[in-house]
Chains A and B, each alone.
Chain A
Amino acid sequence: MRTALRVLSPGPRRRLLALTLAAAAAFFLIALLVQLGVPIEAEWRVQRVAQAARAPALEAPMRAVSLLGSGWLLLPVAVAGGLVVRARHPGLAVWLVATGAGAGIAANLAKLLAIRQRPNTVAWAYPSAHTFGIVVFVVLLLYALWALGATAGRRWPALAAGAVLIAAVGLSRLYLNAHWIGDVLGGFTGGLAFALGAVLILDRRVSG
């Protein structure tokens, strides 16, 4: 049986729009700054700290955490989640999976904005697609829980777990020398802008 979705009221909708625009502005600003090399000294410092923390015992756990932000894992999980949601709201399920796939494309297209090397000298540093992906995943998950009527008692632990997950994936990218801190912040702000933008569209189209 199809569940009626919760809809954003005008006040929260405006606040969400403002947050989306702020995140998008931050994403483009960071892209500009990293392209100009402005924060490179600070990025070297963070990279030094992250690399100093490297230890053989941490390698495998960090790789596992990093994998949580990979599209190869997130997309199948999103599809599986879509199948679960489909019973409650087929339209929402399709949109969630489509948004997840769109996030993968957007994260890779966004890499054309700032051309620079990662700390391990491999290309396509900005933004971190893993961070971008996990942020989109967490935000969409929280939205789905809220829209399908989950209680605050369920939503708050999900929010806390999501925040920990995002931080862990971001840190793992620094630890594995795969990204600079600017790339991770770019992935965070870009993912947030994309996900919140998607939520605003979903809120209008799916619930309407």
Chain B
Amino acid sequence: MAECPRCGWGDVAADKCPQCGVMVSLYRASLDKLRRGPGASGASGASIPSIPAGTAVEPAARETAPPAPSAPAADGAGVRRPRFRGSALGLFGIQAVNALLTLLTLGVFYFWGKTRVRRYVLGETEFEEDRFAYHGTGRELLVGFAKGVAVFFIPISVLAILPEVYQAPGEVRSSLRSLLWLVGLLLVPVAMVGARRYRLSRMSWRGIRFSFRGGIPQFVGIFVVGTILTSLTLGLYYPVFGTQRQAFMVSHAYFGSRKFDFDGRGRDLIKPFIVMLVLFLPTLGLSWFWFTARRQRYFTEHTRFGAVRFRCTVTGGPLAWLTLSNVAAIVLSVGFLWPWTVVRSLQFTLRNTSLHGPLDLEGIHQDARAASAMGEGLAGLLDADFGVG
């Protein structure tokens, strides 16, 4: 029994995967050829060769790539940086077509438009001379949204409206309100995990899929306890809560068969958080950017992938300028400059992010996990992107 290199189905007896229908040998050979480039030879298989720090990598065969090995992407110190190759003009064009088709289809194309933007943004993000890929479809998002509406939105709306319509007693209404608040509190973490699971399952690099394997009950626990403790401590628990959420989201993420790790502790951010609160009014709120940059550095620098550590050089001043100028640009241009703000934000983030240490990809193999788009649809319903990728 072989494993499908495309969808991860583990029970492929013949050459054709019963799950996704791909011809396994064909798919493997194509992936292999993509990785090796013209003229090179090597064994076929869905694992990635090891890339020691500071040595050449093996990018996908590209138009300009000769059979000889490419130049090293990492510098002598083993520092690697992702890059965004896209342009604001390209994203603007995609958005213009999306807007037109969304209008023409009375909103239905919205889900396909979202997919097109993700496909472009990930497709223009490069690491080690290879682009990421997004495999999600508009249909999945539409179905996920419809399921989210049917399973959560309609029942909750009915529960909220019926007591008012039938003039239920005050106690019943207040009990229902509490119940709905509780359901809402539970729904947010469910949506966050679902969205994360869906998005990572649809991302790949060099043909190897990402995945997210965190369980919903565990995250609901973190979320509910964190929300209550943050309220009880008048917000002081917020940095710990934020770090726990980040730890959950990162340490359950996988690239192929290898997981990411996070070793941050929430209490490390309490002092900067208190300093931010103290300085909030005197700095007219600008201390928030300083804290956000500090938190971003902390989160990034406590993330690991095997022996690789992530580094972040974001500081408060540039982050404040980026955020405020983006808001000003969007407001003054009535939204027309949105693509420009997206591109410069991405470039800012990637410019300030680097990977340090030997990128040992030996032994990583395809280990994709199925994921429905319902959590993604729910996240869309709640209008919450959660900033989790």
Q: Which residues of B contact A48 (CB under 8 A)?
A: 26, 29-30, 33
**Interface size of A by Cβ–Cβ distance < 8 Å?**
30
Q: In the complex, which residue of chain B has the Cβ closest to the Cβ of A179?
A: B63
Question: How many A-B Cβ pairs are below 8 Å?
Answer: 88
Q: Which of A13-21, A39-47, A89-97, A197-205 contacts B (4 or more CB under 8 A)?
A: A39-47
Q: Does A178 interact with chain B (Cβ within 8 Å)?
A: yes
Q: Which residues of B contact A35 (CB under 8 A)?
A: 112, 116
Q: Does B123 interact with chain A (Cβ within 8 Å)?
A: yes
CB-contact partner of A123 in B34, B67, B124, under 8 A:
B124
Mark each residue of chain A from 49 to 67: 1 if its CB lies under 8 Å from any CB of chain B, else 0: 0011011100100000010
Q: Does A77 interact with chain B (Cβ within 8 Å)?
A: no
Count chain A CB atoms within 10 A of each CB in B21, B38, B65 and give the residue with the most. Answer: B38
CB-contact partner of B123 in A52, A54, A121, under 8 A:
A121
Q: Does B60 interact with chain A (Cβ within 8 Å)?
A: yes
Q: Which residues of A contact B65 (CB under 8 A)?
A: 120
- The answer to whether A123 and B60 touch across the interface, beta carbons within 8 angstroms, is no
CB-contact partner of A176 in B22, B63, B67, under 8 A:
B63
Assuming the contacts A56-B38, A120-B63, A177-B61, asked whether A41 and B22 have C-beta atoms less than 8 A apart, the reply is yes
- The answer to whether A59 and B131 touch across the interface, beta carbons within 8 angstroms, is no
Q: Does B94 interact with chain A (Cβ within 8 Å)?
A: yes
CB-contact partner of B61 in A51, A66, A115, A124, under 8 A:
A51
Q: Does B27 interact with chain A (Cβ within 8 Å)?
A: yes
Q: Which residues of A contact B120 (CB under 8 A)?
A: 115, 123
Q: Which residues of B contact A115 (CB under 8 A)?
A: 94, 116, 119-120, 123
Mark each residue of chain A from 121 to 147: 1 if its CB lies under 8 Å from any CB of chain B, else 0: 111100000000000000000000000
- The answer to whether B30 and A47 touch across the interface, beta carbons within 8 angstroms, is yes
Q: Does B317 interact with chain A (Cβ within 8 Å)?
A: no
Q: In the complex, which residue of chain B has the Cβ closest to the Cβ of A54?
A: B38
Q: Does A3 interact with chain B (Cβ within 8 Å)?
A: no
Q: Does B163 interact with chain A (Cβ within 8 Å)?
A: no
- The answer to whether B62 and A177 touch across the interface, beta carbons within 8 angstroms, is yes
Q: Which residues of A contact B66 (CB under 8 A)?
A: 59
CB-contact partner of A122 in B29, B34, B97, B131, under 8 A:
B131
- The answer to whether A44 and B27 touch across the interface, beta carbons within 8 angstroms, is yes
- The answer to whether B61 and A123 touch across the interface, beta carbons within 8 angstroms, is no
A33 → chain B closest CB, angstroms: 13
CB-contact partner of A113 in B63, B97, B124, B137, under 8 A:
B97
Complex Cα spacing A55 to B41, Å: 12
- The answer to whether B34 and A119 touch across the interface, beta carbons within 8 angstroms, is yes
Within residues 22 to 68 of chain B, which ones have a CB less than 8 A from any CB in chain A? 22-23, 26-27, 29-30, 33-34, 38-39, 60-63, 65-67
- The answer to whether A122 and B33 touch across the interface, beta carbons within 8 angstroms, is no
Complex Cα spacing A35 to B120, Å: 12
Mark each residue of chain A from 180 to 198: 1 if its CB lies under 8 Å from any CB of chain B, else 0: 0000000000000000000
- The answer to whether B133 and A117 touch across the interface, beta carbons within 8 angstroms, is yes
- The answer to whether A117 and B30 touch across the interface, beta carbons within 8 angstroms, is no
Q: Which residues of B contact A178 (CB under 8 A)?
A: 63
A107 → chain B closest CB, angstroms: 13
- The answer to whether A44 and B30 touch across the interface, beta carbons within 8 angstroms, is yes
Q: Does A6 interact with chain B (Cβ within 8 Å)?
A: no
Complex Cα spacing A115 to B93, Å: 11
Complex Cα spacing A194 to B39, Å: 38
B98 → chain A closest CB, angstroms: 9
Complex Cα spacing A130 to B388, Å: 39
A67 → chain B closest CB, angstroms: 11
- The answer to whether B33 and A121 touch across the interface, beta carbons within 8 angstroms, is no
Q: Which residues of A contact B139 (CB under 8 A)?
A: 36
A151 → chain B closest CB, angstroms: 40
Q: In the complex, which residue of chain A has the Cβ closest to the Cβ of B130?
A: A121
- The answer to whether A109 and B30 touch across the interface, beta carbons within 8 angstroms, is no
**Cβ-closest 10 pairs across A and B:** A121-B131, A120-B62, A54-B38, A115-B116, A112-B93, A178-B63, A123-B123, A51-B33, A176-B63, A117-B123
- What are 21 inter-chain pairs, A to B, with CB distance below 8 A? A35-B116, A36-B139, A37-B137, A41-B26, A44-B27, A48-B26, A52-B33, A54-B38, A56-B39, A59-B66, A109-B93, A112-B96, A115-B94, A115-B120, A119-B60, A122-B131, A123-B85, A123-B86, A123-B123, A124-B90, A177-B62
